[in-house]
Structure 1
Amino acid sequence: MIDPYFFGYGSLVNRKTHAYPQAVQAHVRGWRRMWKGTVLREVAFLTAEPDSTGEISGLIAAVPGADWAALDVREAAYARHGVGEIRHGHSHGTELDIQIYAVEPELVDTRAHPILLSYLDTVVQGYLAEFGEAGARTFFETTGGWHHPIRDDRADPVYPRATVLTAEERKFVDTHLAQVGA
């Protein structure tokens, strides 16, 4: 039997937001990460979209109980897609069915939707912990959609799985937001 795994490239990179088993670092080719507005919410989603030259770093983790239902609820605005080319350090090697979540094109809304700073903070904290400053810088450099406005909700987080950042982590986020022109 091939084990079901998912590839996380946003808040799922931050292990403080979940307790998914067997999570390991991974790199997916053929996809890029984007901020997108949708008809489903007033805030922007972090999503993946096909890109033949793209590569995203993140985590793969086992789907709890090999049942996609609970994970699909957490990722309700996304659809699952099979991952083709991936590098990871999991001991099962190639015996994994790895899926990536992406917003469906028919749900995309081209109007500006704000990016929640509490969500971005949580994502970047995960990248800092997993991939260090270089990996977190790469997150900013390779993510598109920075034209969306930033909603500063740090004092009263709207994002339900918001994490608390250190002063150094906040400075890192703020510096790199300025560098991408957000």
Structure 2
Amino acid sequence: MADPYFFGYGSLVNLATHDFPDPRPAKLKGWRRSWRHTDLRPVAFLTAIPDPDCEIEGMIAHVPKNDWAALDEREWAYDRIPATQAVSHTLTHDVDIAVYAVPHGRHTEPTNHHPLVLSYIDVVVQGYLRAYGEAGADRFFATTDGWEAPILNDRAEPRYPRHQQLKPHETEFVDSRLRRLSVNVVHSP
């Protein structure tokens, strides 16, 4: 029987946000990331959307005790989708890999009432910086849609439950890339 693994493309790339076993870099072909909103959450979040011309980097990890329950709980707003054939990785044994994504039709564009939150962006980019370096973090920005959405600067009071403290150079990297994208950053009232 194949070992169950998941492919993470957002906060799951940041190993400080979880302790799932055997994490390692991987690539998912035929998908890209997008900042989206669903009625299931008050703020926008990342989801994977099919894109036959794209490949995204991320992290695979073993599903603890071969039981999807804890991961399904963490990723409760998403559906778990089989993705074994679309993932390239360094494992040499038989695995079944899934990716979490919100199905088309169950998400919408972020809005002023449902913005991106900077504490979430920080966590994701910190993960890419640590796993893939600056070039990999730049590829994260390039293979993610939705940067035209408003971004709430919540660093002083993070809304993202698994927020992390960034090192000064990590904060500067995030801020510089957001400036390049000319995003609309708003501050908490």
TM-score (norm 2): 0.92
> In 2 relative to 1, CA 11–54 (structure 1 residues): closer, same or farther, beyond 3 Å?
same
Q: 1:137-179: per-residue Cα shift (whole Å, max 9, x none)?
A: 1111111011211011101111110000011111100110111
Say if 2:25 is the partner of 1:25: yes
Aligned counterparts of 2:15 and 2:38: Cα–Cα separation in 1? 26
Aligned counterparts of 2:90 and 2:181: Cα–Cα separation in 1? 31
Partner in structure 2 of residue 126 of structure 1: 127
Runs of 4+ displaced beyond 3 Å: none
- Counterparts of residues 24-173 of structure 1 (less than 5 Å): 24-83=24-83, 84-92=85-93, 95-110=94-109, 112=111, 113-173=114-174
Cα drift, residue 105 of structure 1? 2.1
Q: 1:49-102: per-residue Cα shift (whole Å, max 9, x none)?
A: 11101111000001111111110000000001111322111232xx11000000
Return 5+ residue gaps in structure 1 as ranges.
none
Aligned counterparts of 1:139 and 1:63: Cα–Cα separation in 2? 24
Q: Which amino acid aligns with 1:174?
A: D
Aligned counterparts of 1:39 and 1:107: Cα–Cα separation in 2? 8
Provide the secondary structure at the position in 1 that maps to 2:55: strand
Aligned counterparts of 2:169 and 2:110: Cα–Cα separation in 1? 33
Sequence identity (%): 53
Aligned counterparts of 1:39 and 1:106: Cα–Cα separation in 2? 12
Q: Which amino acid aligns with 1:153?
A: D
8 A Cα contact 1:121 1:165, kept in partner: yes
> In 2 relative to 1, CA 98–180 (structure 1 residues): closer, same or farther, beyond 3 Å?
same
TM-score (norm 1): 0.95
Size of the aligned set, in residue pairs, is 180
Provide the secondary structure at the position in 2 that maps to 1:106: coil
Provide the secondary structure at the position in 2 that maps to 1:107: coil
8 A Cα contact 2:44 2:110, kept in partner: no
Cα drift, residue 106 of structure 1? 3.1
Q: Which amino acid aligns with 2:177?
A: H
8 A Cα contact 1:141 1:180, kept in partner: no
Q: What's the RMSD between the two structures over aligned residues?
A: 1.0
Return 5+ residue gaps in structure 2 as ranges.
184-189
